[in-house]
Amino acid sequence: MARSIDKTIQRNFIPPIKNNLSEQLNVFQTSSKDISTAMNKSNSLLTTEDQKMLTETITTNDTSHSIITTTTTTTTTKTTIAKATNSLEAGCLCPFCNGIFQMTCHRPISEISCGHIICYQCFVLNTNQFGCVQCKKPSEENNSNMKLSSTINVLSDDKNGVQQVMPETIENQILNVFHHVFKLSDFRHNQWEALNAALHHHDCFILMPTGGGKSLCYQLPAIIDSGVTFVIAPLRSLIFDQKQRLNLLNIPSAALTGNISPEEANEIYRDLYKDIPAYKIVFITPEKISMSDQLNNVLRDLYNRQLLARFVIDECHCVSEWGHDFRRDYSQLGQLRLNYPEINLTLLTATATPRVQQDILQQLNINGNYKLFVQSFNRSNLIYECIPKENTDIALSQIANLIKINYQNQCGIIYCFSRAECDRTAQYLLAHNIHALSYHAGLNDALRQTIHMRWINNECQVICATVAFGMGIDKNNVRFVIHFSIPQSIEGYYQESGRAGRDGEIANCHLFFCYDDYIRMKRLILNDDESKSSKQTKQVRINNINRVYDYCLNNVTCRRAQLLEYFGEIFSSSECKGTMSTECDNCRQDFRTSSLDCTRISIEILKLLSDLNQTNSTLSYIIDILRGVNNKTIRDAGHHRLRAFNLCQQLTRLDVERLISRLITDGYVKQEFIEQQSSITAYLRPGTNAIQLTSLSSQRSGSTTKIHIELTIRIEQVNNDHDEEIQNPKQKLIEQINEQCFIELKKELKSIFSTSSYSNIISEQTIKALVKLMPRSKEKMIKDIFEITDELYKQHDFNRLLRILQRFGSERDEIKRKNVSQNSSDSENEIDFSVDFTDRTTHNKKRPTASIITTTITKRKRASGGSSF
Ligand SMILES: Nc1ncnc2c1ncn2[C@@H]1O[C@H](COP(=O)(O)OP(=O)(O)OP(=O)(O)O)[C@@H](O)[C@H]1O
């Protein structure tokens, strides 16, 4: 809506440049009529309350200080115009900026006390700071910022043809500054409304997606407002970045951060104590407010002199303990409303669930009367993808290939788990001729700033960073964000991946995940005694990481739908599928799904964990038991005789992991961490909520307690024999051979390609196809497998793959020939096929039908610009 309003206004608003003032005034008259028509038009699209707000004219606190005020008479105007006309005859250029006088930003403004004329923009930006920009004469009267809110803007004919002065409306001021200070043309969603609300003295809570344009919603009002706007931001890097952008726009700003010298700080304080401070925006950190008396004194002084314009809390999710970046000092900001009740607050964030929003408002003592601006969090230009990480080396080489193939001369960010990982990743990429730099909190401020600047200036292609490189990073052309390790929360992931594609062009977000990283991170949170996190805060962080891991494992649901659901937004995956060029990895693939009621399976899993409580069992071991893997360790331990053995034979390994991950997230299962040498192992145990689930099995039917655990899984190959209760044991052995063959082929490929990654040449799907078709000759391999060409075969000595396929092929043939009876058990393959997940003696229960991952080939519709893992 805002966009359409604005377009109408803009088309009519900027008049052509004219060489003399009377001509300019004529043009302006016409255009002002157009504006009011446009405003009327746009008003018809607004609610009554909005219309009232938009038509409200500004009331100044002291109009007598204005040169041209709302009460200025026609005579005064004529004098001004006469002066302006004289001055304009001498070249029509603003003497300060040399810009041509126009009727909008560069329209001439005369100052009453000295009679000099400058353009409106210089007037807004400089006159109050330096006195008259021509004679530098300070004027007690001229120096009031109030005049900025009430300068003449529109001249229109009255009935008698006499030009009259109209007060400048807030809308016009917004448009002026928007077009001519920020040099922007189209408002983004909600900007127009938020700017109006702020300038009409409302508290504003602005939730916009990353890169949505939140900064404008406080920067623009700060220029128009009288007094100084204080922006509370969480990081120096963010402040540094914002300040630089304001410098480019000639908007006077300062930062009272810990890294400035006492002299610099004193200079800023001196300015703030002036009658009219030069700075329009001052950045501070929440810690500064908590700790600095000097700052609090100046705030009080400005408040008493009515020169405190607004408080802006950037990244306000940090206020909430439920937010992902919670900061203790942020929670003290509730004092602002109590200490400065007249001052409006503007809250900005890109990540706040409804629960976090409520908490923020409560913490900040904002009740009822505020304007909320929420919009879809969907970043429609981002392509989300999760990639299982085999190990660090393979992931590194995958990343190097990905950048070389897909992102030549395009810049990106790689988020790493630790400082060491940043350094290692950057070194690896450098060794592969990719210009990468490492950025983390271990570097000193100056070096971090240099690296940041080199990246901003496109002197370095990739930045390998910890999350310290996050909020406030505004580089428009970031084409990819790679997470080398899983992020700490969904909000964190949304923020970090949101650094990509801020120019609105397509960009990719690749997330590498593995169970080891997940437990490493969890372990770190549990061991974190330094940050003095409360037990509750730790639990929040643990829940956050569990959610992220669930997200990574979920190979069914649209990534956008998953992310947006987290923020309380309902998103239809058809929207993602409908935009082929930016489909997420799950939407990109064709598969059918089925919903499984996993309640009973879950109960059995908990019983299994309880049975194994004395034995330390890892996730991988539990999955092996559940999937009936017939290996020596299981056999030696006698675990193939357990009731749960083979319980999930028809689920893929990933599905079983997803189910267990769900049980962990819901507290039915917990992980116990044991440190052995330098590695951490997590053992699974029944969790605190386990009893709620296991007690279900002893409840009579018809009981009111209902826990329902459902899992939607992919059905890639439907088992036609639905009614067959137990899968043919022959088939099971074949599956195991397939699985083993798949693993060996991957190992062999790794060794064939040694230094580089094979995954860009031979995809996971191709390996699966090899297993399925099991070609026994070179010719058949080339004929059956599309990706394998004669040239590729020779170039990489695929005879090595052929030998594996021949070996497993004959094993498979052998099994097919053998008549393996359902109850047979030889000494080598001792499998108890009679297990069922409900009752070991019951065979007439229907099992869920699921896919066999090793025989699955999914159709990939590659999106443009995406990777080809
Ligand atoms: N109306 C607009 N038209 C064009 N560009 C805009 C507009 N508003 C903002 N921008 C630009 O969009 C980019 C992102 O804006 P901004 O930094 O304010 O985003 P943000 O919402 O604060 O994002 P983040 O939460 O990620 O920091 C900036 O380069 C800004 O100049």
Task: State the DSSP code for 127.
Answer: I
Which pLDDT score, from 0 to 100, does residue 413 have?
96
Highest-scoring range by mean pLDDT, 178-187, 337-346, 689-698: 337-346
210 Cα–ligand 1 center, Å: 8
- Testing ligand 1's pocket by substitution, the residue of 179, 215, 373 carrying the most ligand atoms inside 8 A of its CB is 215
Regarding the beta carbon of 70 and ligand 1, being less than 6 Å apart is answered: no
End-to-end Cα, the chain, rounded Å: 40
- Output 10 or 206, whichever has higher pLDDT: 206
Decide: helix, strand or coil at residue 727: coil
Regarding the beta carbon of 452 and ligand 1, being less than 6 Å apart is answered: no
Let me know if 260 is exposed, middle or buried by CB neighbors in 10 A (0-12, 13-18, 19+).
Answer: middle
Decide if pLDDT at 775 tops 80. yes
Decide if pLDDT at 681 tops 70. yes
Regarding the beta carbon of 472 and ligand 1, being less than 6 Å apart is answered: yes
Decide if pLDDT at 340 tops 80. yes
Q: In whole numbers, what is the pLDDT of the chain averaged over residues?
A: 75
Q: Do the beta carbons of residue 126 and residue 3 sit within 8 Å?
A: no
Q: Give the span between the Cα atoms of 288 and 280, in whole angstroms.
A: 19
- Output 38 or 581, whichever has higher pLDDT: 581
Q: Give the span between the Cα atoms of 847 and 649, in whole angstroms.
A: 10
What is the per-residue DSSP string for 199-241? HTT-EEEEE--TTS-TTHHHHHHHHHSSSEEEEE-S-HHHHHH
Regarding the beta carbon of 188 and ligand 1, being less than 6 Å apart is answered: yes
Smallest CA separation from ligand 1 atom 8, residue: 213
237 Cα–ligand 1 center, Å: 17
Smallest CA separation from ligand 1 atom 23, residue: 211
Task: State the DSSP code for 142.
Answer: T
Smallest CA separation from ligand 1 atom 27, residue: 472
Smallest CA separation from ligand 1 atom 9, residue: 213
Which pLDDT score, from 0 to 100, does residue 506 have?
93
Q: Give the span between the Cα atoms of 496 and 345, in whole angstroms.
A: 26
Q: CA geometry: angle at 401 spanning 398 and 402, to 5°?
A: 80
Helices (H), 467-512: 490-497
Regarding the beta carbon of 214 and ligand 1, being less than 6 Å apart is answered: yes
What is the per-residue DSSP string for 28-51? HHHHHHHHHHHHHHHHHTS-HHHH
182 Cα–ligand 1 center, Å: 11
Q: Give the span between the Cα atoms of 446 and 15, in whole angstroms.
A: 46
443 Cα–ligand 1 center, Å: 28
Q: Give the span between the Cα atoms of 826 and 811, in whole angstroms.
A: 16
Regarding the beta carbon of 213 and ligand 1, being less than 6 Å apart is answered: yes
Regarding the beta carbon of 219 and ligand 1, being less than 6 Å apart is answered: no
Q: Among 165, 205, 13, 171, which residue's Cα sits nearest to residue 78? A: 165
User: Tell me: the pLDDT tens digits for 151-172?
Assistant: 323 333 344 443 444 456 888 8
Regarding the beta carbon of 475 and ligand 1, being less than 6 Å apart is answered: no
Regarding the beta carbon of 256 and ligand 1, being less than 6 Å apart is answered: no
Regarding the beta carbon of 220 and ligand 1, being less than 6 Å apart is answered: no
Question: What percentage of the chain exceeds 70 in pLDDT?
Answer: 70
Regarding the beta carbon of 470 and ligand 1, being less than 6 Å apart is answered: no
Which pLDDT score, from 0 to 100, does residue 471 have?
59
Decide: helix, strand or coil at residue 270: helix
Q: Indicate which atom in ligand 1 lies nearest the CA of residue 216.
A: 18
Regarding the beta carbon of 208 and ligand 1, being less than 6 Å apart is answered: yes
Decide if pLDDT at 144 tops 50. no
Q: Do the beta carbons of residue 289 and residue 333 sit within 8 Å?
A: yes
Q: Do the beta carbons of residue 215 and residue 173 sit within 8 Å?
A: no
Which are the contacts of 145, defined by CB distance < 8 A and separation ≥ 6? 128, 225, 226, 227, 276
Decide if pLDDT at 728 tops 70. no
Q: Give the span between the Cα atoms of 348 and 310, in whole angstroms.
A: 13
Q: Indicate which atom in ligand 1 lies nearest the CA of residue 474.
A: 17
Q: Indicate which atom in ligand 1 lies nearest the CA of residue 242.
A: 17
Q: Give the span between the Cα atoms of 393 and 402, in whole angstroms.
A: 14
Decide: helix, strand or coil at residue 741: helix
Q: Indicate which atom in ligand 1 lies nearest the CA of residue 217.
A: 18
pLDDT-derived band at 115, boundaries 50, 70, 90: low
Q: Are strands 462-465 and 308-313 parallel, antiparallel or unpaired?
A: unpaired
Structural domains in the chain, CATH included, are 172-374 (3.40.50.300), 382-590 (3.40.50.300), 606-698 (1.10.10.10), 730-815 (1.10.150)
Which pLDDT score, from 0 to 100, does residue 700 have?
53
Q: Where are the beta strands (DSSP E) in 661-761?
A: 669-676, 679-686, 710-715
Q: Among 137, 321, 153, 299, which residue's Cα sits nearest to residue 228? A: 299
211 Cα–ligand 1 center, Å: 5
Regarding the beta carbon of 234 and ligand 1, being less than 6 Å apart is answered: no
Which pLDDT score, from 0 to 100, does residue 673 have?
87
Q: Give the span between the Cα atoms of 179 and 104, in whole angstroms.
A: 9
Regarding the beta carbon of 504 and ligand 1, being less than 6 Å apart is answered: no
**Beta-bridge partners for 60:** none
Decide if pLDDT at 107 tops 60. no
480 Cα–ligand 1 center, Å: 18
Which are the contacts of 680, defined by CB distance < 8 A and separation ≥ 6? 519, 520, 523, 673, 674
175 Cα–ligand 1 center, Å: 17
Phi, psi at 163, each rounded to 5°: -70, 135
Q: Give the span between the Cα atoms of 422 and 155, in whole angstroms.
A: 60
pLDDT-derived band at 272, boundaries 50, 70, 90: very high
Q: Indicate which atom in ligand 1 lies nearest the CA of residue 185.
A: 3
Residue range 560-581: average pLDDT?
88
Q: Which tokens hold the place of 722?
A: 């639905």
242 Cα–ligand 1 center, Å: 11
Q: Do the beta carbons of residue 222 and residue 280 sit within 8 Å?
A: yes
216 Cα–ligand 1 center, Å: 7
User: Tell me: the pLDDT tens digits for 620-666?
Assistant: 999 999 999 888 889 888 898 898 999 888 889 999 999 999 999 99
- Output 771 or 69, whichever has higher pLDDT: 771
Regarding the beta carbon of 302 and ligand 1, being less than 6 Å apart is answered: no
Decide: helix, strand or coil at residue 112: coil
Regarding the beta carbon of 317 and ligand 1, being less than 6 Å apart is answered: no
Q: Using CA atoms of 348, 351, 353, 355 in order, give the dihedral in degrees to the nearest 10.
A: -50
Q: Are strands 679-686 and 669-676 parallel, antiparallel or unpaired?
A: antiparallel
Q: Which tokens hold the place of 687?
A: 């969790």
Decide: helix, strand or coil at residue 771: helix
- ipTM of predicted assembly, 2 dp: 0.98
**Beta-bridge partners for 299:** none
Decide if pLDDT at 350 tops 60. yes
Q: Give the span between the Cα atoms of 655 and 594, in whole angstroms.
A: 12
Regarding the beta carbon of 497 and ligand 1, being less than 6 Å apart is answered: no
Smallest CA separation from ligand 1 atom 22, residue: 214
Which pLDDT score, from 0 to 100, does residue 869 have?
19
Q: Which residue has the tokens 């008549």?
A: 819
Q: Give the span between the Cα atoms of 170 and 675, in whole angstroms.
A: 63
Q: Do the beta carbons of residue 308 and residue 302 sit within 8 Å?
A: yes
Q: Which tokens hold the place of 493?
A: 């992931």
Which pLDDT score, from 0 to 100, does residue 462 have?
95
User: Tell me: the pLDDT tens digits for 439-472?
Assistant: 988 888 788 888 888 888 888 999 999 887 765 5
Q: Give the span between the Cα atoms of 259 and 756, in whole angstroms.
A: 43
Decide: helix, strand or coil at residue 350: coil
- Testing ligand 1's pocket by substitution, the residue of 180, 208, 216 carrying the most ligand atoms inside 8 A of its CB is 216
User: Tell me: the pLDDT tens digits for 599-624?
Assistant: 889 999 999 999 887 788 899 999 99
Q: Where are the beta strands (DSSP E) in 599-729?
A: 669-676, 679-686, 710-715
Decide: helix, strand or coil at residue 765: helix
Helices (H), 45-111: 48-55, 74-89
User: Tell me: the pLDDT tens digits for 804-817?
Assistant: 999 998 888 888 77
Q: Give the span between the Cα atoms of 515 and 682, in whole angstroms.
A: 10
User: Tell me: the pLDDT tens digits for 379-396?
Assistant: 999 999 999 998 899 999
Predicted model pTM: 0.60
Q: Which of 91-100, 188-197, 417-426, 760-769 has the lowest mean pLDDT?
A: 91-100
Highest-scoring range by mean pLDDT, 417-426, 697-706, 778-787: 417-426
Which are the contacts of 395, defined by CB distance < 8 A and separation ≥ 6? 389, 484, 512
Which pLDDT score, from 0 to 100, does residue 437 have?
93
Q: Give the span between the Cα atoms of 83 and 77, in whole angstroms.
A: 10
Smallest CA separation from ligand 1 atom 1, residue: 187
Largest CA distance in the chain: 111
Q: Give the span between the Cα atoms of 376 and 359, in whole angstroms.
A: 20
Q: Indicate which atom in ligand 1 lies nearest the CA of residue 245.
A: 31
Phi-psi region of 201 (alpha: psi -120 to 50; beta: other; left: phi over 0): left
Regarding the beta carbon of 620 and ligand 1, being less than 6 Å apart is answered: no
34 Cα–ligand 1 center, Å: 29
**Beta-bridge partners for 670:** 685
Q: Indicate which atom in ligand 1 lies nearest the CA of residue 473.
A: 27
Smallest CA separation from ligand 1 atom 30, residue: 213
- Testing ligand 1's pocket by substitution, the residue of 184, 218, 476 carrying the most ligand atoms inside 8 A of its CB is 184
Cα torsion 410, 415, 416, 418: sign: positive
Which pLDDT score, from 0 to 100, does residue 131 have?
57
Decide if pLDDT at 23 tops 70. no
Task: State the DSSP code for 123.
Answer: I
Regarding the beta carbon of 228 and ligand 1, being less than 6 Å apart is answered: no
Smallest CA separation from ligand 1 atom 25, residue: 210
Q: Indicate which atom in ligand 1 lies nearest the CA of residue 188.
A: 1
Decide if pLDDT at 803 tops 90. yes
Smallest CA separation from ligand 1 atom 6, residue: 213
213 Cα–ligand 1 center, Å: 3
